[in-house]
């Protein structure tokens, strides 16, 4: 299994949940032979099958916060991560690790939690070594009601981070310093500000302050202002150009549903 990102959904927010105009299945991240599923939102299990990925291979489940576009399919994904659930005496096999916020555990049944080998309650600033890979919780400023974190993986040859849903904040650039690849949840285009998310114009100066500069930026989790029947056009291509022109980042990629990117190709 080569290190790879698979976009199981490039959409975010309630309108894409309803319309599935852009899918909301989260991201598969494969590293060091480990398959992780980050933020399995509505339709995650459908998208895994649609894009010919194997849910049985998933062993690491990550939910960054308790919003439905990030967690709704978690139970289905845990149950689908094994072909056989239990032995003849209904002793359930345990498999996998779940990394998530404390409050997220209230949204998932004991039946599914008991299928897991390990549950790691996580928040920004936390650090975990998973099979030799350092995993760090990054700060988010998102919903005042719920906790959340972004997540960063420091591997031997590269470092990759997922911002999760957040606004920009003091220290945003430092959080991702030393990253080769950043996956940015960019809900809104240009200067269309949102109190709980970030837009292109707001984030550009923060991206330019990441030191050393990122090699790659992958934008995803587009909201309805960005591209949907409610928007006047698909703003994604123009945001890619804007980021290319106005940042010091070598390579900008726009997520599409089903897009598969080998990490090797990003590290050239």
Residues that bind Zn ion (CB under 5 A): 12, 67, 69, 165
* CB nearer Zn ion, residue 12 or residue 43: 12
What stretch of H or E contains 200? helix 200-208
ω into residue 212 within 30 of 0, thus cis? Answer: yes
Q: How far is the CB of 199 from Zn ion (least distance, A)?
A: 14
Q: How far is the CB of 185 from Zn ion (least distance, A)?
A: 6
In angstroms, rounded to a whole number, what is the distance separating the alpha carbons of residues 47 and 238? 27
Q: Which of 17, 1, 153 is nearest to 73 (CA)?
A: 17
* CB nearer Zn ion, residue 12 or residue 137: 12
* CB nearer Zn ion, residue 147 or residue 165: 165
* CB nearer Zn ion, residue 53 or residue 165: 165
* CB nearer Zn ion, residue 57 or residue 196: 196
Q: How far is the CB of 206 from Zn ion (least distance, A)?
A: 19
In angstroms, rounded to a whole number, what is the distance separating the alpha carbons of residues 46 and 73? 10
As given in the structure block, the two tokens for residue 182 are 């950043």
With tokens 């980021």, the residue in question is 243
In angstroms, rounded to a whole number, what is the distance separating the alpha carbons of residues 239 and 226? 9
* CB nearer Zn ion, residue 115 or residue 182: 182
* CB nearer Zn ion, residue 163 or residue 180: 163
Q: How far is the CB of 194 from Zn ion (least distance, A)?
A: 11
3-state helix, strand, coil in the chain (%, to 5): 25, 25, 50
In angstroms, rounded to a whole number, what is the distance separating the alpha carbons of residues 41 and 39? 6
Q: How far is the CB of 142 from Zn ion (least distance, A)?
A: 6
Q: Which of 52, 62, 56 is nearest to 29 (CA)?
A: 62
Q: How far is the CB of 167 from Zn ion (least distance, A)?
A: 11
Q: How far is the CB of 228 from Zn ion (least distance, A)?
A: 14
The DSSP line for 59-101 is EEEEE-BS-HHHHTTHHHHHHTT-S--B-TT--BPP--EEEE-
């Amino acid at each position: 299994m080569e290190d790879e990102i698979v976009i199981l959904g490039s959409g975010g927010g309630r309108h894409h949940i309803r319309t599935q105009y852009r899918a909301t299945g989260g991201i598969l991240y494969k590293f060091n032979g480990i398959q992780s599923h980050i933020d399995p939102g509505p339709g995650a299990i459908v998208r895994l099958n649609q894009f010919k990925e194997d849910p049985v291979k998933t062993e690491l489940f990550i939910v960054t916060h308790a919003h439905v576009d990030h967690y709704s399919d978690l139970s289905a994904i845990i149950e689908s991560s094994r072909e056989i659930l239990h032995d003849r005496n209904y002793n359930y096999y345990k498999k996998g690790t779940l990394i998530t916020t404390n409050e997220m555990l209230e949204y998932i049944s004991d039946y599914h939690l008991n299928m897991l080998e390990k549950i790691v309650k996580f928040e920004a600033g936390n650090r975990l070594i998973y099979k030799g890979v350092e995993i760090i919780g990054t700060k988010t400023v998102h919903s005042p009601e719920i906790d959340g974190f972004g997540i960063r993986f420091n591997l031997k040859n590269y470092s990759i981070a997922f911002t999760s849903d957040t606004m920009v904040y003091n220290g945003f650039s430092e959080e991702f310093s030393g990253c080769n690849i950043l996956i940015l949840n960019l809900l809104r285009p240009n200067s269309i500000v949102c109190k709980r998310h970030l837009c292109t114009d707001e984030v550009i100066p923060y991206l330019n302050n990441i030191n050393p500069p990122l090699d790659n930026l992958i934008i995803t989790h587009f909201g309805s202002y960005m591209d949907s029947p409610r928007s006047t056009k698909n703003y994604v291509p123009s945001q890619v150009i804007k980021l290319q022109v106005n940042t010091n980042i070598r390579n900008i990629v726009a997520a599409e549903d089903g897009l598969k990117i080998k990490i090797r190709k990003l590290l050239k």
